[in-house]
Amino acid sequence: MIRDRPISPGAKSPRLVWCAALAGMLVVSAGCHLRTPKQAFPENLVAFGDSITRGYAVPVGEGWVELLAHRMQAEDGPGRPGVSVFNAGGNANTSAEGMKRIERDVYPHLPGVVAIEFGGNDATHDARHVSVEQFELNLLTICRLVKERGGKPVLVTFPPVINAWHAFHGDSYYARWGGLDQCVEEYRQRTRAVARRMGYPLFDLDLLLRKKITATGPERWILRDGVHLTPQAHQFVAQEFMAFLRNRGFVDAADLRD
Which residues have C-beta within 8 Å of that of residue 208, sequence separation ≥ 6?
236, 237, 240
The pLDDT of residue 251: 61
User: Is 11 contained in some domain?
Assistant: no
- Is the residue at 211 inside a domain? yes
The angle at the Cα of 199, spanning 198 to 203, to the nearest 5 degrees, equals 110
Of 129, 138, 237, whose CA–CA distance to 184 is shortest? 129
Q: Dump pLDDT digits (tens) for 210-246.
A: 999 999 999 999 999 999 999 999 999 999 999 999 8
Is 21 a domain residue? no
Provide Rg for the chain, Cα atoms.
Answer: 17
Q: Is the peptide bond before 42 cis (omega within 30 degrees of 0)?
A: no
Gap between the Cα atoms of 213 and 195, Å rounded: 24
Q: Of 148, 55, 158, 156, whose CA–CA distance to 102 is shortest?
A: 148
- Tell me whether residue 180 is in a domain: yes
Domain that holds residue 205: 27-255
How many domains does the chain divide into?
1
The pLDDT confidence band at residue 72, using thresholds 50, 70 and 90, is: confident
Q: Burial of 222 by CB count in 10 Å (0-12 exposed, 13-18 middle, 19+ buried)?
A: buried
**Strand, coil or helix: 46:** strand
The answer as to whether 7 is a domain residue is no
Q: What is the CATH number of the domain that holds 187?
A: 3.40.50.1110
On whether residue 4 sits in a domain, the answer given is no
Q: What proportion of the chain, given as a percentage, has pLDDT over 90?
A: 74
Q: Global pTM?
A: 0.83
Q: Are 198 and 157 in contact (CB under 8 A)?
A: no
Domain assignment present for residue 14? The answer is: no
pLDDT tens by residue, 151-189: 999 999 999 999 999 999 999 999 999 999 999 999 999
First to last CA, the chain: 23
What gap in Å lies between CA 253 and CA 235, rounded to an integer? Answer: 20
Residue 22 lies in a domain: no
pLDDT single digits (tens) 183-207: 999 999 999 999 999 999 999 999 9
